[in-house]
């Protein structure tokens, strides 16, 4: 399923991702083009005759591998026919070239300005490496930022549950893989902010127990204070030390936090007898105001059957 926005023709800037030479750059181009298309910020330009209209870029002279802005004189350096691409409706162009030292160069061109907006040089993993696609996704986000000044979300993964198992998938819908290591039914997965761990709930003999799992190793750790009730919807604090979750008992559903770094300090925050679904939104606020957590309480005061609540987390 894809959800997008509808724009009037000509509102979104045109973007053309030009073909590179070789299997690696062909794969990079395909992923880049899809990421930029899925960002919903550009009109992707299709070249007349498919890929027969190629960039005439020459390999740039050796320089530092760090990204470097380069405005003005870009037409001569890149060898692009900017008026041609402008006539095709492109406001920006991306070129990919291989340079000495097993390095790939990506240039983001300002077609209207007739110059190179920014150049990035990277050492990509081999095509068969598990980290290749994510490395290209990160490159896509840098291209979007170079063009529009805002970051992208291509280098993210989504957690979801299918048939009681937790899976992770790239933002573009590729590279699906099973990440939960259990035979028990799992629900409500949530990423830690560093992307290296996630938390989820498992059903254990009528109870909901929370686990935190390391993505790379697959090692998981049970949250010590859970398992005696129905604990669900875990959410990490930004520093990864605290887990907020909902706990359902015969008396109702309340909102709790627990220190998962030290395995202690269970604290009840909200008392909502009609039920509450927790979602951690702790923010960096001025010290005297403390930190806050938001939750949704179904069936209370809202016209659609739910009300949002904001409370102190400490």
Cα separation, 295 vs 278, whole angstroms = 5
Statement: the pTM of the whole predicted model exceeds 0.95? no
* Greater pLDDT, 304 or 137: 137
Indicate the pairing of strand 14-17 with strand 43-44: parallel
CA distance linking residue 112 with residue 93, whole number of Å: 10
| pLDDT classification of 83: cutoffs 50, 70, 90 | very high
Please name each of the domains of the chain with its CATH number.
Answer: 14-148 (3.40.50.10070), 157-312 (2.120.10.30)
Model confidence at 268, pLDDT cuts 50, 70, 90, reads confident
Query: CA dist 15 to 35, 88, 112, 230, 293, Å?
Result: 12, 10, 12, 50, 40
State how far the Cα of 220 lies from the Cα of 196, in Å rounded to an integer: 12
In three-state secondary structure terms, 28 is helix
242: which 2 tokens? 């605290």
In tens, the pLDDT along 171-203 reads 999 999 999 877 889 999 999 999 899 999 998
**Start-to-end Cα distance in the chain:** 39
Over residues 4-58, the pLDDT tens digits come to: 555 555 579 999 999 988 889 999 999 999 999 999 999 999 887 655 455 444 3
Closest among 158, 193, 194, 204 to 179, alpha carbons compared? 158
Distance between CA atoms of residues 109 and 86, nearest Å: 11
Q: Pick from 182, 189, 193: which is nearest to 161 by CA? A: 189
Residue 21's CB: how many other CB atoms inside 10 A? 13
């Amino acid at each position: 399923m894809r959800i997008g926005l509808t724009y009037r023709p000509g509102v979104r800037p045109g973007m053309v991702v030009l073909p590179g030479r070789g299997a690696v750059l062909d794969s990079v181009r395909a992923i880049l083009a899809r990421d930029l298309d899925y960002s919903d910020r550009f009109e992707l330009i299709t070249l007349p005759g498919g890929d027969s209209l190629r960039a005439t870029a020459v390999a740039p002279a050796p320089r530092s591998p760090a990204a470097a802005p380069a405005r003005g004189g870009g037409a001569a350096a890149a060898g692009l026919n900017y008026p041609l691409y402008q006539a095709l409706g492109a406001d920006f162009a991306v070129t990919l070239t291989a340079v000495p030292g097993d390095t790939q160069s990506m240039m983001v061109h300002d077609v209207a300005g007739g110059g190179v907006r920014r150049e990035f040089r990277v050492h990509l993993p081999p095509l068969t490496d598990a980290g290749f696609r994510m490395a290209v996704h990160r490159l896509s986000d840098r291209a979007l930022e170079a063009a529009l000044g805002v970051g992208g979300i291509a280098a993210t993964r989504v957690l979801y549950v299918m048939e009681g198992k937790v899976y992770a998938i790239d933002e573009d819908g590729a590279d699906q893989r099973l990440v939960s290591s259990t035979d028990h039914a799992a629900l409500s997965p949530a990423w830690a902010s560093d992307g290296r761990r996630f938390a989820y709930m498992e059903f254990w003999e009528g109870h909901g127990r929370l686990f935190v799992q390391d993505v790379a190793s697959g090692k998981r750790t049970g949250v010590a204070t859970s398992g005696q009730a129905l604990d669900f919807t875990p959410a990490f604090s930004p520093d990864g030390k605290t887990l907020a979750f909902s706990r359902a008992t015969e008396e109702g559903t309340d909102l709790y936090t627990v220190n998962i770094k030290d395995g202690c300090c269970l604290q009840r925050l909200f008392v909502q007898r009609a039920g509450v679904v927790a979602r951690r939104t702790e923010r960096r606020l001025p010290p005297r105001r403390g930190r806050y957590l938001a939750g949704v309480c179904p069936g209370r005061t809202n016209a659609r059957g739910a009300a949002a609540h904001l409370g102190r987390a400490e």
